[in-house]
Structure 1
Amino acid sequence: MVVLTGVAAGACGNLVDTSNYDTRGGLALGMNGAGEIIAHVEACQFRVDEVRVVQGRELLGGEPNPRLGLLVTDQPQTGRFEVNLSNPRAPWRAEQPLTEPPDPEHIVIVDAMPDGSTSPKIEGIRQESASRVELEALAPGEVIVSEWNPDAGPSESPLRNVRIRLEDFHPECPAE
């Protein structure tokens, strides 16, 4: 997994100054046998109290990505855990139940949001995105993560989705 520091290219091609960010851990997206979307989170030492789901920008102009769901907990989670986005279970609850895009080829973008209690910088966990079509194509035990695509052309995203086994999902966490 590549972690960018300093100035990095954002997913939309913009330069982003990441010097004031503390980015750790990661997120993988999967699906259970009931067709429910599962976020597998490695929060390292961060405490996550919110998971946001927004629609990708396939048909959008300059407006913000519409929010499709918001899951919250009063018991912030840390380390490795999973959140069922489609049908949350305690300690998670849907403040805004997940509504998927009408086109199964459109992506959802998932962000696990730290509560800001463990770092003097802006805390962040790497977001992930996938379409229902991609998720339904996963074999049992597989998840989707993104990786840097060094061969991306000027009109392509610098990130690409790859399928890995859940047991191979090991985002880097700094030593405490």
Structure 2
Amino acid sequence: MNWLRRSAVLVVGALTVVSCGNYINMNDFDYRGGFAVGMNDAGDVIAHIEACQYRVTAVQIVQGRELLGGEPNPTLGRIVTDQPQTGRFEVNLSRPQAPWRAEQPLSEPPNPAHIMIISPETDGTTSRKMEVIKQESASRTVLESLSPGEAIINVWNKDAGPTEEPVVNEVVRLADFHPECPA
């Protein structure tokens, strides 16, 4: 089963989900904030993060499942900070700027149509559960098709048929991107 499809099942699934033979208890996760991925005028991949009360310490980028078999998804890059960030901020994944640095510089998939799966990581500051900001995925081809001020979010396609992808890219204007944060 394709990794992105499995992730969609996990995110949208019930409290306990069976996916590709793995049991995941969704009660162990605390989802907050939002995340969109875009590109700047220089062609750099940009993470747009709304962290709510969380403090983001890293952004992990892994290869999608196209043409790959087995586990795990190969790591394409890891951007970290010693000054955890909260609220709304951006991280340049291609050329990190202070306070961010490349622990492993981003190496995009060789085929620009293949996706990168991007996941913000938090430091466990507000909950006893595993804190999660929804991951996003996009290919360079899709990112290059965006107009200035736009980004991609992944949306569950509840009406997907058996031959359709259950997760689709939705283009959002960054000015209108305001994920809800719990009180």
Q: TM-score, normalised by structure 2?
A: 0.88
1:20-78 per-position Cα deviation (integer Å, ceiling 9, x unaligned)? 11110111000000000000001100000010000000111122100000010000000
Please say if residues 142 and 163 of structure 1, whose CA atoms lie closer than 8 Å, have aligned partners that are also in contact.
yes
Give the structure 1 partner of residue 7 of structure 2: none
Q: What's the C-alpha RMSD, in Å, of the aligned pairs?
A: 2.0
Unaligned runs of 5+ in 1: none
Name which of 168, 172, 182 aligns with 1:164.
172
Query: 1:1-176 alignment to 2 at 5 Å?
Result: 6-7=15-16, 16-175=24-183
Structure 1: how far apart are the matches of 2:21 and 2:134?
17
Using the alignment, how far apart are the partners of 1:13 and 1:37 within structure 2?
33
**In structure 2, do the counterparts of structure 1 residues 39 and 26 end up closer, same or farther at CA, with 3 Å as the change threshold?**
same
Q: Which runs of 5+ in 2 are unaligned?
A: 1-10
SS in 2 for 1:19: helix
Separation in structure 2 between the aligned mates of residue 170 and residue 8 of structure 1, nearest angstrom: 28
Structure ranking higher in helix proportion:
2
TM-score, scaled relative to structure 1:
0.91
Distance 1:27 1:122 in 2: 17
Q: Percent identity, aligned pairs only?
A: 64
- The total of aligned residue pairs comes to 173
Contact 1:5 1:19 in 2 (8 A): no
Q: Residue 12 of structure 2 contacts residue 156 of structure 2 at CA under 8 Å; is this kept in 1?
A: no
